[in-house]
Structure 1
């Protein structure tokens, strides 16, 4: 391995890889870990990439599975990059790092969209703190998760498993320790983390896990198959491997987004992980009770997720009433996961992100990511967080995540899924950047109803 300012040449088992060095940070972007999923490979299990016979230029982000953004505007900058080699990953590492812990970050996007090339996922602050960051891409939507006859289920999860295999085989060349891998992700990425943690197939590929606004996002097969049939009708093809395979990925994704936009089809999780194959033989909550018992888990949610924009009093009343759909989808997953892992030999720790963005009107979905990554100066943060997001909150949140990836237990007590569970609260209005609290994920009783519902 040789390194000079501007150019970094890496010799890895995958081959010679040419990246870039900026100060004390090394970046190797868009490295294919699998053969391009095109032609006969489009709806097939991923195949490991052959060793490079020529030096690979890793100076720019690789192609993304996302061809069409999920929404016209998104909180996270999510660039789409054209090309066939969508099964690629990027490595950001400290210069002269040796046996550093590794953070593998899985992007979100409802399993339909999202981009590992987002500047919010840049690992420069983790490199500063002695951590190697890896951001893989995976197949999305129909190509990654549609229930099609003759197609292996959960292709998107199979892509991520192969990426983790690549990390195990190659990361030492970048200064990472293959025996100290933490898999983490946000939203759909956090759901993928819980799915992999619950899977026997995922066992041994990582030592720690972090789920940021994740949940139990398994697709209902009947609903997904109905969606795929209606999608085929809209696109004028049979809802089969051959039918969709005759269309470009762009055309299929456009059809998905148009169909979702129709009345009654706005569920962002219409396609996602399926239960019933070798990866997810049982529902994720059931799998967590028996698999990954020795893997420490950190998970949490934002206070408002998709319910920003309301004045504080109205927002508090909505939470107290337990009426928010996102409470059921995101926040209730936290104590549920802790309860599933109640007998685990490793701990489960909860957190809640409560800082209200003055732009977004609350502690909403995705607003916590620049704080965890400590990249408050990244493109798009001012548009989402305002011009003066609290740097001390980023310092505190990033430090907690760094400590966890380095193998240390969180400073607060683990959770068991029972009422009164402890949690770390980040950025509560009028509070210190971090505060330990209890009961933030407890069920609540809507006023006047006498009925308890999960919050």
Structure 2
């Protein structure tokens, strides 16, 4: 405890560790423990401490249910017990004030219900090795961070993220970082969170650049969140209030949350926790703010997706094969999910004549939910946006170029056992070198190394060979949605308690998707 770098923060000094020539600090509180009277409330500053606080180990993770078994095999999600879960970590090549190095702040994904900064794939050593001060943090998840109650403010988890960025603004110079050169980047729910922060007046000036990986700016319908809270309350036999939930056992809350959200997925839909428009931190729909000029336009953007996002959501549970067996019923369900006319699935079939029904449904929903809005965002921020697609297929059978697969390459941690769960053995190091260096370049000077977005729609493809720029690789599919929006009357929204047509839901429950005589 007498060795290791010591840095002063606004609340007290912390002692980190030297690891491979880099200074690493873990588990630094940026806010007080969000329990007791602070439960379901906005984050409060941490209590100052005397002396030097040890920052050698990851701090507690936010309460969360475990992944279901099929996903637990693929996605590492460590649990560190304790109440002080609003903490962050710093990797820096130079822990001295005055270095003024670029800063990258990671916002983890996990559907706003799982994940943490302690996931091994998110190790920041490669960024620090390459001259960047790297920060990652935990924030409240699930009902703790995104439940809607009549007696508590909305979006406490997003408010945690804002508090972490404010800590970076005020403290990162002491760790060698430049508070004027902050890049936030996140994947999936992390990217959705960044989209909301981009549109929030409270976050202006806290970061200069942003990378949104596989997640668009969006707000969740308040009714979807309320339905999930009510399901939990019914299971727990308590009122749907913050006061009642705060008095409930934490393990019981986690179990109720897992059960209430068991049937929901990005492809099938269903009630879910998410960021909501609250008239304050999120004053309006984030996409509307970002494309309509109501939000800051001076933030440089890196935007992208994987080629087969949907395979992580559908393949591990066998749902992809069940969708194949449903055939036209599944396509009708996709139309209802996306509120599209029949010309959209017909167009996808013409563009991809050899694709299975499961692949067509997956690509349709992925384009509607993710690629269309990210295209819109890039169009609204031309000359300051760069777009990529990750196309390398996993060596794990059935996963393809699925959601979250690019993370081990962006972090240059693809060789870790936890990354190999998703990528399989033999992930190409040259691909990690290319992606990681592009993210570092973007943080350093705002240019990841390829042409900025314009009317030709340049997309950097990271695949099995040398990365290359392809022009308009998704334009034919995305044009179908533009035509659909202008010429086709969308079908009615499905009944509130169903996401797919009722016949499809019943068949799934009765037969597992197999048509029986």
TM-score (norm 1): 0.90
Report the alpha carbon displacement of residue 178 of structure 1 after superposing the two structures with TM: 1.0
C-alpha contact (below 8 Å) 1:198/1:284 kept by paired residues: yes
Aligned to 1:180: 181
Matched, 1:414 2:452: yes
Name structure 2 gaps, 5 residues minimum. Answer: 322-351, 486-517
Q: How many residues align?
A: 442
Say which one has the larger Rg: 2
8 A contact 1:76–1:118 mirrored in 2: no
Match of 1:276 in 2: 278
User: Which residue of structure 2 lines up, in the alignment, with residue 35 of structure 1?
Assistant: 32
User: Distance between the aligned counterparts of 1:260 and 1:99, measured in 2?
Assistant: 44
Instruction: State the match for 2:101 in structure 1.
Output: 100
**Matching residue of 1:399:** 437
Distance 1:36 1:124, change over 3 A: same
**How far apart are 1:323 and its partner, in Å?**
5.0
1:316–1:171 distance in 2 versus 1, CA, 3 Å: farther
Match for 1:55 among 52, 57, 74? 52
Q: Quick check: 1:397–1:426 contact (8 Å CA) kept in 2?
A: yes
Given the superposition, is the C-alpha separation of residues 167 and 225 from structure 1 closer, same or farther in structure 2, using an over 3 Å criterion? Answer: same
Give the one of 274, 286, 289 matched to 1:287. 289
Whole-Å Cα distance in 1 between the matches of residues 237 and 478 of structure 2?
Answer: 49
The alignment yields a C-alpha RMSD, in angstroms, of 2.8
Distance 1:256 1:390 in 2: 38
- CA deviation after TM superposition for structure 1 residue 153, in Å: 1.2
What pairs with 1:326-405 in structure 2 (closer than 5 Å)? 326-342=366-382, 347-360=384-397, 361-405=399-443
User: For residues 90-239 of structure 1, what are the structure 2 equivalents within 5 Å?
Assistant: 90-95=89-94, 98-239=99-240
Quick one: distance in 1 between partners of 2:265 and 2:167?
40
Structure 2 CA distance for partners of 1:369 and 1:286, relative to 1, 3 Å: same
User: Which residue of structure 2 aligns with residue 424 of structure 1?
Assistant: 460
Deviation string, structure 1 residues 281-326 (Cα, Å, up to 9, x no partner): 1111111132120000001000001226589996588667885322
Inter-partner Cα distance in structure 2 for 1:3 and 1:173? 20
1:79 aligns with 2:78: yes
Q: How far did residue 138 of structure 1 move?
A: 0.7
Q: Is the 8 A contact 1:17 1:56 kept in 2?
A: yes
Going by fraction, where is helix more abundant, 1 or 2?
2
The structure-2 alpha-carbon separation of the partners of 1:149 and 1:16, relative to structure 1 and needing over 3 Å to count, comes to same
Aligned to 1:332, what secondary structure does the other structure show? Answer: helix
Secondary structure of 2:89's aligned partner: strand
Do 2:60 and 2:83's aligned partners in 1 also have CA atoms closer than 8 Å? yes
- Structure 1 residues 301 and 66, CA gap change in structure 2 (3 angstroms): farther
Do the aligned residues in 1 keep the contact of 2:22 with 2:129 (CA within 8 Å)?
Answer: yes
- Whether the 8 Å CA contact 1:356–1:362 is kept in 2: the answer is yes
Report the Cα offset of residue 264 of structure 1. Answer: 9.1
Question: Quick one: distance in 1 between partners of 2:298 and 2:77?
Answer: 34
* Alignment partners' CA distance in 2, 1:42 and 1:383: 35
Q: TM-score, normalised by structure 2?
A: 0.79
> Secondary structure at the residue paired with 1:81?
coil
Contact conserved, 1:335 with 1:441, CA < 8 A, in 2?
Answer: no
Partner Cα separation in structure 1 for residue 361 and residue 230 of structure 2? 38
